[in-house]
Amino acid sequence: MNSPHLDLPRTRTALARLEAALGRLEAASIQAGKVEDGLVAELAQAREQYAALQELTETVSDRLDAAIDQLQTVLEEE
């Protein structure tokens, strides 16, 4: 009599396959977390660069406005 409850080799094989699949899933999850962490770091760096460029742009804009004002003053005096 071959009862499904007593088919230990097939059960062990199924459990081994399940364990292997869970291991692959865990490894993929860890890898995805590393990728996400990398993307978060890149986004933070991009935001820092953006803030620095925005500050530089404001400085250049202020200097250009001052230069234009000086040129207008000089032209009005002539």
DSSP string, 26-44: HHHHHHHHHHHHHHHHHHH
Question: What is the pTM for the complete model shown?
Answer: 0.61
Within 10 A of 63 (CB to CB), how many other CB atoms are there? 10
Per-residue DSSP letter, 52: H
Overall average pLDDT of the 35-58 stretch: 96
pLDDT at 3 over 60: no
Overall average pLDDT of the 23-49 stretch: 96
Amino acid letter for position 47 = R
What average pLDDT is seen over the chain?
Answer: 92
Overall average pLDDT of the 69-78 stretch: 93
Cβ neighbours of residue 74 under 8 Å, at least 6 residues apart? none
Structure tokens at 46: 């991009």
